[in-house]
Structure formats: structure tokens, C-alpha cells
Amino acid sequence: MSGSSELAAPAPAAPARGALEGLRVIDLSRVLAGPLCTQMLADQGADVIKVEPPGGDETRTLGPPVNDDGDAAYFTAVNRGKRAIGLDLSQAAGRDVLLTLLADADVLIENFIPGTMARWGLDYEADLKHRYPQLIYCAISGFGDDGPLGGLPGYDAILQAMCGLMSVNGDPASGPTRIGIPIVDHLTGYTALSGILLALYHRARTGQGQRVEVTLFDTALSLLVPHAANWMHTQRAPGLLGSAHPNIAPYDRFACQDGAIFLGVVNDRQFRRFCDYAGLTALLEDPRFATNRSRLEHCDALRGAIENALSDRPRDAVCRDLMRLGVPAGPVNSVPEAFEQAHTAHRGMRIDKDGYHGIGTPVRLSRAPARVDRLPPAYAQHTDEVLREAGLVDSQIAALREQGILPRWPPSKP
């Protein structure tokens, strides 16, 4: 140091580490719920190894549209951040490779039909629990292992129908209608993520792994708030409400001059502000609309008055003005309009990177931000790399490939 007053330059800040950095996840799942869960783990820094069967994850072929590698956009939506290997688990040598990978894994996630893993000698309780006592094993299925529907395959739309979601979605003209996104699969992915994180916290305290079970059936039923509670208290079955709410009015879609908006008034203060803005102050003196309960009882008359007041007003101006007044309102946007909003870019909810286009992560950690470091993998892209890390030498890898244990892509056709 040339002088006592000089200060050393501050060291450059180290890049933030992901919250789950160092976590190793073996992902045997495919389609949506499981891959979405593991993508969220990967976004937060986990090393996710996607293990695909000889035919690949079905979503690779669910297109068009497809990317330059021929993988469907559907696949790319839930598989970024992962390393991929191909492995034939129907063969004993393939299962041996999986067991080798589990030696330093923290989490295994699978969504096979119940009984599949046991048939392969990979049952958690009988085969894996004692061999890998710290392993967290997450099983996703349609209905679980047992019970009247145990072991049956589950699909999002079927669960929407069976669990009452369709019965409250739609209007009398459309009849019961499937919700336009695979909402049961989506929430099941988030539920699996929650279960895995709970199990990791428990392991940090006890040193013990455990089995986490998540079913589409349970998840679909859990979505019935407040409809199930309303029925349990009244014994009146909920019906089709269109876009309306069973407990709140006005809480519905309304037409403006150039498109529809959704108006969500949840208390009397907001209702007064809305009426003042819309020129409907006469409603404030009408006992039919004095409280939310009375507004619900006279919702048809209320709807007519609001439609008349908004029909000649531009939707964007209405939404802007009402939101500034503290009255929740938003335009009914198309998917392109939703992603073209300035706030979407501000929140980083669209990712465009090296030809990849995806939805951003909805969770933000101030000290461990999510990162997109790996694009969705090509089939078996990282097989040799992962197996070398697990201790296999090139001659062993070549022998497994020759035996068909490590399948190639695209799969050979009969």
C-alpha cells in the first residue's frame, strides 16, 4: 500500500447462488405436472437430470408448433434448465444405471401408473428407502395407489369432469365446460413442489428422507373454493355462473365499447366509487344494492344497469380509471395481449434467450434469484456427461448403448 489513506478496490460481487444449488434431482416424470415441478426446481438452481424412456417424453411430439430441433413448444414450456439422458428402465441394466444415479441424488420424482416402480423392483418402501435413507421420493398419480380408484390413470380433463370443476365452469348456453388450461396438472405440479420442499425441510431437521404423494384427484378437489364450502353449508349444489362469482356481486365480465372487461367489486366502498364513476349514483339509494348480500339477490338487475353504463366507454380507459380509484378492473386480454403488456416485460415474465421462448418464473427471492442457465434439452443430450459423473467409463457407456439400454433419438420404427 503506497499510503495509509488509500483503500483497496472492493472485490466484485459473486453471482447470486440459486436457493436450491447443490440439490440433485432425478426426474422420471413426463407430460406436465412432474416436468413443471422439476423445471421450477431447476429455475432455483437444482441439478435436474431428466430421464426419458426410449420413446421420449410424449410432449416432445405434441406439436406443431415445434422448435428448430423438432421438439414441440409444449415440451420446451416445462423442461428448461435440465440435463437429459435416455434410459430404458424396462431392462434390468437400465434400472442398475438408475440406482447408480440415485447414489448421490436428493430427490426422485415419477408419475408412472401406480405399481410400475414396484414391478421394476424400485418401490420406495420395499427397495429404495433403506438403501437411500435420505432420498425424497415424490410420486404423482391420478388417484393414488389404493382405494376404489387406486391405480387408474389420470388426465387433467377427466379430473376436471370427475371432481366438479366443469360443473361450475361455463354458462347455460355452453353447458359444463373444461377450463381452458390444464389447471389440475398445473396445480399438481405446484403441490408436488410444495411437498418436496416440506420434505427437504423435514430432512434438514431429522436427516431422514420420505415418500411424498400427490394426486390429481386430491388436487382437483382442493380447487373447489368456495364452491364446496357453500354446498357443505347449504346442501345446494353450485351451478354454472359464467364469469360471475357465487358469493360476490358485481364480480363478472362486462362489455365495453371495444371489448370486455372484468369488474371485481368486493366491498361496499368499492361499489360506491364505481357507481360515482359510472354515473350510477341512483343505485346507491336503492335498497336492492345496499349490501353485497342484497346485490347478489338482485344480480340480474344490477348487471343490466352496469352494462348500460359501460357500453359506450372504451375498455382500456375504464380499466385505467377504475384501478386508479381503487376499484379492481382489467381488460379481458388475449394471450398475445397479455404478454404484450408493459408490466409483463417489467416483471420478467417472458423469456427470450438463444431462440428459446418461455414463461418466466413467478417466484422471486431477493437473495437467490431464479436463473435460466440451460435451454430445454434435446433427447438424451447429456447422457455421456451424466454417466461419467456417476462413475461409468466410456467403454461401459458404449456397451450400454450397444445393448439398447441407452436409446437413441428418434426411436426406431418397427
Q: Judging by DSSP bridges, how do beta strands 329-331 and 259-264 pair with one another?
A: antiparallel
Query: Locate cell 411424498: which residue?
Result: 212
C-alpha cell at 303: 348487471
Q: How many residues does this entry show for the chain?
A: 414
Catalytic one among 43, 47, 88, 185? 185
From residue 284, alpha-carbon distances to 247, 272, 274, 303 in Å are: 20, 7, 10, 15
State the DSSP H helix or E strand holding residue 260, giving kind and residue range, or none if neither.
Answer: strand 259-264
Q: In what order do the strands lie in the sheet with 82-86?
A: 82-86, 47-52, 24-27, 107-110, 136-141, 211-215
Active site residue 185: yes
Distance between CA atoms of residues 202 and 194, nearest Å: 12
DSSP for 269-313 reads HHHHHHHHHHT-GGGGG-GGGSSHHHHHHTHHHHHHHHHHHHTTS
Which amino acid is located at 366 in the chain?
Answer: S
C-alpha cell at 244: 360471475
Distance between CA atoms of residues 41 and 25, nearest Å: 8
Distance between CA atoms of residues 222 and 199, nearest Å: 21
Query: Which are the catalytic amino acids?
Result: 185
